[in-house]
């Protein structure tokens, strides 16, 4: 085969790869991201099956659940006048049993007659962290974590639309805090916002959100506050970078908006649940909560706090916080293969595909396309299950498929022309 044909085929593959990669960063961004997310979710679903329901003893997390039975006995937790003396009693029991940390995944607003009782109980325990909520700006709600499709090295990416320094954190308009006496008595406050992806699946959680004039104040999530407390790390030790947060050499990988991927263990409940009303009645074994991280929240559908997670499953919000804390404690982070590596894979795939599809018979080109796509899928699944790395396979696979389609169409058109006498083999 003439060297000119080889060079042209390689150059054609390179051009197609570069153009499609550029398209993946612009107008094809969302369709490709949607497809890649579906693949990643299937990897999670497969890992759920392989893991089963792993034991959670290593995390030391127990969830005190305001379940249906508790609400039938005490009233709906959604009511702002839910008796706070019950929570005060439960906190007293948990602290007395030796709980290492108590997290309140319930927002106590407004005044009730039991405010002082709850505040005193929290102060006495000395290890309570409470959640609160930010009212996010509309533009911040649209600012999604971009993950495997986005190339972090492209600072002027059209998807971002704003300089990286100016868009580092999502912004809040104002904050919804618990009543002031409780705020003063807790060990720390952490925001409990969940921000699902556009398809409604909760794959990430923001570690920081900025507020105040010009975003001058930066606040940590509930999971981050719990982690800082348990590790005895001061918040001022944080070094915020474009690709993560560092604490004295320990790196927590995030995207440029400071979203951390949640490393879900399984589709079902991972952590042991104890009914709130049982704790309130003292119906638990002595030492059951000793040296444990206790999260108080509701797993009931009536509380309206069930979140969609990868694998078409639902999980209570309190367990999402537990998953975020577990991810931080274990250091088993979900990371994404960098955009530059994907770009390199795309270029190599484009050049190689252009050569093979031009030089080999059409039937071999079809086999190569199918084999390449299946191999990339198998590689990405193995990489995720073994090391927690997510590999973007949509863009390089799309390049190979399009190359094959274009070259095959060109070859079939030439055959049609030759068959009808418009061309002769010598005239090619």
pLDDT over 60 (residue 238): yes
Q: How high is the pLDDT of residue 138?
A: 55
Query: Is the distance from CB of 320 to CB of 221 less than 8 angstroms?
Result: no
At which residue do the structure tokens 């060079």 appear? Answer: 7
State how far the alpha carbon of 294 is from the alpha carbons of 57, 64, 164, 219, 319, in Å: 13, 7, 37, 22, 11
* pLDDT tens readout for residues 295-318: 999 988 887 888 999 988 889 999
Q: How high is the pLDDT of residue 300?
A: 85
Query: Is the distance from CB of 395 to CB of 349 less than 8 angstroms?
Result: no
Q: Which residue has the higher pLDDT, 395 or 358?
A: 395
State the DSSP H helix or E strand holding residue 253, giving kind and residue range, or none if neither: strand 250-253
Query: For 76-80, 168-172, 275-279, 395-399, which range has the lowest pLDDT when averaged over its residues?
Result: 76-80
Q: Which two tokens mark 234? A: 């001061």
Mean pLDDT across the chain, nearest whole number?
86
Q: Which residue has the higher pLDDT, 414 or 336?
A: 336
Q: Identify the band that residue 124 occupies on the pLDDT scale cut at 50, 70 and 90.
A: very high
At which residue do the structure tokens 């944080």 appear? Answer: 238
pLDDT over 80 (residue 108): yes
Q: In angstroms, rounded to a whole number, what is the distance separating the alpha carbons of residues 428 and 419? A: 13
Domain ranges of the chain: 3-42+337-427, 54-333
* pLDDT tens readout for residues 246-284: 998 889 998 878 899 999 987 667 889 999 999 999 999
Q: How high is the pLDDT of residue 167?
A: 44
Query: Is the distance from CB of 365 to CB of 407 less than 8 angstroms?
Result: yes
180 by DSSP, 3-state: which? helix
Average pLDDT (84-89) is 92
In sequence order, which residues have a C-beta less than 8 Å from that of residue 202 and are 6 or more positions away?
Answer: 194, 195, 196, 262, 307, 308, 309, 320
Query: Is the distance from CB of 346 to CB of 20 less than 8 angstroms?
Result: yes
* pLDDT tens readout for residues 211-230: 876 667 889 999 999 999 99
pLDDT over 70 (residue 33): yes
Query: Is the distance from CB of 208 to CB of 218 less than 8 angstroms?
Result: yes
Q: How high is the pLDDT of residue 156?
A: 47
Average pLDDT (27-40) is 91
Compute CA 48 distance to the chain's CA centroid, rounded to the nearest angstrom. 16
At which residue do the structure tokens 């590596």 appear? Answer: 341
* Helix ranges, 289-393 (H): 317-330, 339-359, 362-387
* pLDDT tens readout for residues 162-208: 333 444 688 887 899 999 999 999 999 999 998 888 888 999 999 99
Buried b (16+ CB within 10 A) or exposed e, 373-382: beebbeebbe
Q: How high is the pLDDT of residue 139?
A: 55
> pTM (2 decimals)?
0.87
Q: Which two tokens mark 375? A: 């191999």
Query: Is the distance from CB of 352 to CB of 398 less than 8 angstroms?
Result: no
Q: Identify the band that residue 428 occupies on the pLDDT scale cut at 50, 70 and 90.
A: very low
Q: Identify the band that residue 69 occupies on the pLDDT scale cut at 50, 70 and 90.
A: very high
pLDDT over 50 (residue 76): yes
- Phi, psi (5° rounding) for residue 109? -100, 170
Q: How high is the pLDDT of residue 158?
A: 45
At which residue do the structure tokens 């005190």 appear? Answer: 64
Query: Is the distance from CB of 315 to CB of 103 less than 8 angstroms?
Result: no
Q: In angstroms, rounded to a whole number, what is the distance separating the alpha carbons of residues 308 and 414? A: 51
Torsion of CA 249, 255, 257, 261, to 10 degrees: -90
Query: Is the distance from CB of 400 to CB of 408 less than 8 angstroms?
Result: no
Query: Is the distance from CB of 51 to CB of 266 less than 8 angstroms?
Result: yes
Axis crossing angle, helix 362-387 with helix 339-359, rounded to the nearest 10:
160
């Amino acid at each position: 085969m003439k060297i000119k044909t080889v060079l042209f085929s390689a150059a054609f593959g390179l051009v197609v790869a570069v153009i499609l990669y550029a398209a993946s960063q612009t107008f094809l961004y969302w369709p490709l991201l949607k497809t890649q997310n579906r693949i990643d979710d299937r990897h999670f679903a497969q890992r759920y099956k392989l893991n089963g329901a792993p034991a959670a003893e290593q995390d030391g997390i127990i969830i005190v659940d305001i379940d249906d039975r508790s609400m039938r006995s005490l009233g709906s937790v959604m009511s702002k006048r839910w008796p706070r003396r019950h929570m005060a009693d439960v906190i007293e029991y948990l602290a007395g049993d030796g709980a290492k940390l108590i997290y309140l995944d319930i927002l106590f607003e407004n005044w009730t007659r039991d405010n002082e009782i709850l505040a005193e109980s929290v102060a006495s325990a000395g290890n309570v962290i409470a959640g609160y909520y930010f009212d996010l700006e509309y533009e911040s709600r649209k600012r999604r974590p971009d993950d495997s499709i986005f190339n972090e090295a492209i600072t002027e990416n059209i998807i971002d639309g704003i300089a990286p320094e100016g868009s580092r954190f999502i912004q809040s308009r104002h904050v919804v805090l618990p009543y002031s006496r409780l705020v003063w008595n807790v060990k720390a406050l952490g925001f409990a916002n969940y921000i699902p992806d556009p398809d409604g699946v909760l794959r990430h959680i923001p570690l920081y959100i900025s507020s105040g004039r010009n975003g001058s104040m930066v606040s940590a999530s509930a999971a981050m506050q719990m982690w800082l407390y348990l590790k005895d790390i001061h918040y001022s030790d944080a070094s915020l970078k474009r690709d993560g947060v560092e604490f004295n050499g320990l790196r927590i990988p995030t995207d440029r908006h400071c979203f951390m991927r949640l490393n879900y263990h399984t589709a079902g409940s991972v952590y042991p649940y104890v009914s709130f009303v049982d704790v309130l009645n003292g119906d638990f074994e002595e030492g059951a909560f000793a040296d444990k991280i206790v999260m108080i929240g509701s797993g009931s559908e009536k509380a309206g706090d069930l979140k969609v997670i990868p694998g078409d499953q639902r999980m209570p919000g309190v367990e999402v916080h537990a998953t975020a804390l577990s991810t931080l404690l274990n250091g088993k982070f979900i990371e994404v293969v960098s955009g530059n590596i994907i770009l390199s894979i795309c270029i190599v795939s484009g050049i190689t595909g252009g050569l093979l599809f031009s030089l080999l018979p059409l039937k071999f080109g079809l086999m190569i396309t199918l084999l390449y796509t299946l191999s990339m899928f198998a590689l990405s699944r193995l990489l995720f299950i073994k090391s927690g790395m997510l590999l973007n396979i949509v863009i390089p696979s799309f390049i190979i498929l399009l190359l094959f389609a274009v070259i095959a169409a060109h070859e079939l058109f030439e055959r049609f022309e030759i068959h009808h006498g418009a061309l002769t083999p010598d005239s090619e």
